Amino acid sequence: MNVNQTNGPAYDNMGFQHEKGRPPPFAPQQGLYPSLPTPTYVAFAPKPINTHQSTTPATPPVTTETKGKKTCPWKRILAGSVIVLMILAIVALLLWYFLYFKCALGKSCKYSWKCLRPTQWCDGIVDCPHGEDEICFRHHGSNFTLESFSSFTKSWVPVCGDRWDDNFGKAVCEQMGYEREDYARYSKTNILTAGEFVQLRRDSHHKLPIQTQLVPSVLCLEGSVRLRCVDCGESSASPNSRIVGGTEAKVGAWPWQVSLQVFRQGHVCGGSIISKHWILSAAHCFQGSKFSNPVIWTVHASKISLREMELYFGNRVDKIISHEKFDSDTNDNDVALLKLSTPLTFSKTVKPVCLPNLGMEFSDGQPAWITGWGALRSSGPSPDKLNQAEVTIYSRKKCNKPTILDGAVTESMICAGKLSGGVDSCQGDSGGPLVVKESNVWWLAGDTSWGIGCALRNKPGVYGNVSYLLDWIHWKMAVR
């Protein structure tokens, strides 16, 4: 956490060091064409002139006129070009047929070219290579409205509350990656509603795949389902909003913040509790053969003092799942999940933060909070106590201006800070939360990823965009 305008390197995994320092936040622009090697010239001795006359008649010289008549190179070029264009047209037609026309009657797998019939989507059988055809439920909006993908309408629609109960709620939450013990509750809007819905058949049973038991409906007697898979986003102590710069946090103010520590090295990165079994952090924290090994990591929750944490063992990590498309040059898709060997015990000081739901937008100018044990200035000392700071979220368009981050912020990123400088994340904050309060609930908008220096003017911090990465998060949590 940095409150000084100090130049320095980008945020880093405090343990892992690249051979020549951390790569820049985006790859340097290469020349349009590669440089060619300098040609080597070889001198050839001229052949000696044969002074003897040959008995073979001399071949007449080829004039421009006769050469054109015999070879016609422009005709060959034209014919070749026509053939190439015809081949490209056939390839384009085949691609259109298999990827668009053929899938116009179905739905293609997100991570491959495989096309499924409507009846194959959400039928309880995994058909896509990565299983995305069976990710059939999601939350929408800050009220946690439950939606399901309908293979009948080929769209996401609300789930009707008719015949719904806690058993169905637990089964759906389990499909979304939560444990049954995490389950919180469900509610219904209790308003007779007409529109597009899916609802349970009369003979439905919670032990069967729920998505196969939902049928279309245009009338919902009990209103739509609002499902809470875990009690999240609740804080037992409010931050002091009058303070703009970084300050020490109160106990219980950020109960989802954890310290990720390595044996004999102490605090390395931050993370956020999203359930009793799962921690969300940044992929760049686990680069290198040493740091990708879950055995060396422990998760420390509930305490705000690093010195106090030394008295406890923390929770061991069973599995580290970094995004397969994480790019260490650009920091694209900088997200990772840690599955704990033993679940956390929730309390006033240990609680999960809410993952953002579809339809929630963190807009330009919206206030947010960052927390962590990161350096107080670039390459400076780290505090013992957890620090907090209020920042502002900026649009990707604004952050990508040449005078700010010059196009380095991709769809998988969100940027926040103070354009005037003075408040920012720094080394050691990596993986920690960027949170926003909406509808009296705290939502995880981002995980601390990278920055140019710490707290520089016109250089806000960059965070993994959790909303963009949400499908990946639920997909990995659901794989058992």
Catalytic residues: 284, 334, 430
Our separate counts of H helices and E strands in the chain read 6, 22
Q: Where are the beta strands (DSSP E) in 153-255?
A: 155-158, 185-188, 193-200, 214-220, 225-228, 247-248
Q: Report the alpha-carbon distance of residue 273 to residue 278 in Å, rounded.
A: 6
Strand partners, 270: 259
Q: What are the respective helix, strand and coil percentages of the chain, to the nearest 5?
A: 20, 30, 55
Cβ–Cβ < 8 Å for 370, 388: yes
3-state secondary structure of 366: coil
Q: Report the alpha-carbon distance of residue 68 to residue 186 in Å, rounded.
A: 84
Q: CA 242 → CA 206, 364, 421, distances in Å?
A: 49, 21, 18
Residue 381 tokens read as: 């000392």
Residue 146 makes CB contacts below 8 A (sequence gap 6+) with 137, 138, 139, 140, 158, 159, 172, 186, 224, 225, 226, 227
Q: Report the alpha-carbon distance of residue 252 to residue 238 in Å, rounded.
A: 8
Cβ–Cβ < 8 Å for 355, 473: yes
Q: Report the alpha-carbon distance of residue 2 to residue 376 in Å, rounded.
A: 5
Q: Report the alpha-carbon distance of residue 399 to residue 385 in Å, rounded.
A: 31
- Kind and range of the H or E run holding 387: strand 387-394
Residue 153 makes CB contacts below 8 A (sequence gap 6+) with 196, 216
Q: For residue 214, which of 143, 131, 122, 138 has the smallest C-alpha distance?
A: 122
On the 0-12 / 13-18 / 19+ scale of CB atoms within 10 A, 419 is middle
Cβ–Cβ < 8 Å for 349, 312: no
Q: Report the alpha-carbon distance of residue 332 to residue 23 in Å, rounded.
A: 13
Q: Report the alpha-carbon distance of residue 154 to residue 122 in Å, rounded.
A: 11
